[in-house]
Structure 1
Amino acid sequence: MNWRSEHIWIELITGSRKISNFCWACILFLGSLGFLLVGTSSYFGRNLISLFPSQQIVFFPQGIVMCFYGIAGLFISSYLWCTISWSVGSGYDKFDRKEGIVCIFRWGFPGRNRRIFFRFRIRDIRSIRIEVKEGLFPRRVLYMEIGGRGDIPLTRTDENLTPREIEQKAAESAYFLRVPIEVF
Structure 2
Amino acid sequence: MIEFDESNWQIKLLGNNQFQNYFIPIILLFGGIGAYSYVGFLSIFSMKTIQKVGIPTFNAQTFSLLSYGSAALVLGGFLLFSVLSNIGAGLIKFEKNNQQITLAFKGYPGKNERLFFSYNFRELKSIKIVYTQSPVPRQGLFLVLEGSREIPIWSGQDVSKFPRSESFITNLGIEMNLNIEIVYNN
The normalised TM-score by structure 1 is 0.81
Segments ≥4 residues shifted beyond 3 Å:
1-4, 45-48, 136-139
Closer/same/farther in 2, CA of residues 57 and 18 from structure 1, 3 Å limit: farther
1: CA distance, partners of 2:6 / 2:133: 32
By how many angstroms is 1:167 displaced? 4.2
Cα deviation, residue 149, structure 1: 6.5
Matches within 5 A, 1:164-175: 165-175=161-171
Letter in 1 for 2:49: N
Backbone CA RMSD of aligned residues: 2.5
Query: 1:47 is matched with which residue?
Result: 49
The farther-off stretch of 91-100 and 120-129 is 120-129
> Equivalent residue for 2:21?
21
CA contact (8 A) 1:127 1:174 kept: no
Conservation of the 8 A alpha-carbon contact between 1:35 and 1:66: yes
Unpaired runs of at least 5, structure 1: none
Which ranges of structure 2 fall in alignment gaps of 5 or more residues?
none
- Work out whether 1:69 is the aligned partner of 2:68: yes
Contact 2:107 2:113 in 1 (8 A): yes
| 1:11-53 Cα deviation digits (max 9, x unpaired) | 22122212232111111111111111222232323437xxx96
Question: Counterpart of 2:120 in structure 1: which amino acid?
Answer: R
In the alignment, is the contact (CA less than 8 A) between 1:41 and 1:54 conserved in 2?
no
Task: Please tell me the residue identity of whatever aligns with 1:181.
Answer: E
Per the alignment, residue 161 of structure 1 pairs with 158
Tell me how far apart the structure 1 counterparts of residues 9 and 63 of structure 2 sit (CA, whole Å).
Answer: 55
Identify if the C-alpha distance between structure 1 residues 145 and 167 changes in structure 2 by more than 3 Å, giving closer, same or farther.
farther
CA distance in 1, matches of 2:158, 2:144: 20
Deviation at 1:137, TM superposition (A): 4.7
- Check whether the contact 1:10–1:92 (CA below 8 A) recurs between aligned residues: yes
